[in-house]
Amino acid sequence: MHGIEVDEAQRAFALALWSLLGTVASKQGDAETRAAAARCCAAFRRACRSEPHYVLQVRGGALHGNGARIRPDVARFAATAGVIAMLQERAVSDVLLLASVELTDFVALARALVESKPGVDLAQRLLADGCDAIQVAQELAPAVELDVDREEPCDPRPRAPSQLGAVFVMQRLASALGQRGPLAGLHARTILQNVLHRMQRLDAGLEPLLRLMRDPKGAGEAVNACVLATLTGEQLGWDDARGFDAGIAALLGPGLVFGIDEEALQLGQAAAAVAAMLGAAARPSEAIDRAEKQGAVSDAVGEAMEIVLATS
């Protein structure tokens, strides 16, 4: 697409999204809602083009799509302003849409935005509604005054990975989890999300997560290790904070974690050792036995892991 076509596609998507929000807000029937969602989905495909994901953001009081400012024309000024106002009212700074987003995902997003009261965790609602292709990042900061005409100064400094960018990476990592078993499902995704929030307190922040994407196999093992470490900490009677620290240690590996106590680091390393062997082992207990023989897992931790991995 040329620049003008890209701008038009962005504006059309903003209009289609605003139309869908209006359809849901006016409590029209399922047929009308699905029709509006279908139009929104089609407009999204044109705006997203061949990108793996699309990020809708409110920055400086203006709406942006994948980093480019959406400049409304006269006919769509109200729609763009409406979308901005809706996102600001819900304290939403970013909306991440994967290329795989479907009609039902747009319906779930619209209902979450329209029906939820300010302060509600929209990410949790979308997850509960089975919407995996859309993620939102919220901030409890006052909204910036709307200004759809003001130019933003260019900042040449590299931007740190946003929270939503990390959510996208986590979404990719979570896809490595299976559909069944103690290291899969909604509970495992919740653990990953909590570990992510915990990581934001570390000096390195979320940057190390981006490095994991370079090695898909290693990323899959790291995610399993993260969940295993956290659940093992829970089994050992640790509080949530220490369990999440162990999950961070397992996710990132040695040399990339600072500010975590030694015992949590050791549990993370033990979980990583077992996770690396799970694929080749006939049974989880076999992987734990191998890790124990190598001195990577203590008896107490091994027993706790067996309980965790035996849970169905």
Among 119-128, 135-144, 290-299, which is the least confidently predicted range?
Answer: 135-144
pLDDT class of 167 with cuts at 50, 70, 90: low
How long a stretch of residues is the chain? 312
The residues near 12 (Cβ < 8 Å, ≥ 6 apart) are 43, 46, 47, 76
> Is this prediction's pTM over 0.85?
no
Which of 19 and 133 is assigned the larger pLDDT? Answer: 19
Look at residue 81 and tell me whether its pLDDT is greater than 60: yes
Instruction: For the chain, give the percent of residues with pLDDT over 70.
Output: 77
pLDDT class of 161 with cuts at 50, 70, 90: very low
How confident is the model at residue 204, as a pLDDT? 58
Strand 134-138, strand 68-69: pairing: unpaired
Which of 63 and 204 is assigned the larger pLDDT? Answer: 63
The residues near 215 (Cβ < 8 Å, ≥ 6 apart) are none
The residues near 140 (Cβ < 8 Å, ≥ 6 apart) are 91, 119
- Rounded to whole angstroms, the Cα distance separating 151 from 156 reads 15
- Tell me the one-letter amino acid at 28: Q
Q: Quote the crossing angle between the two packed helices 299-310 and 216-235, to the nearest 10°.
A: 100
Region 148-172 average pLDDT: 47
How confident is the model at residue 304, as a pLDDT? 93
The residues near 111 (Cβ < 8 Å, ≥ 6 apart) are 24, 129
Look at residue 48 and tell me whether its pLDDT is greater than 70: yes
Q: What are the sequence ranges of the domains in the chain? A: 3-138, 163-310
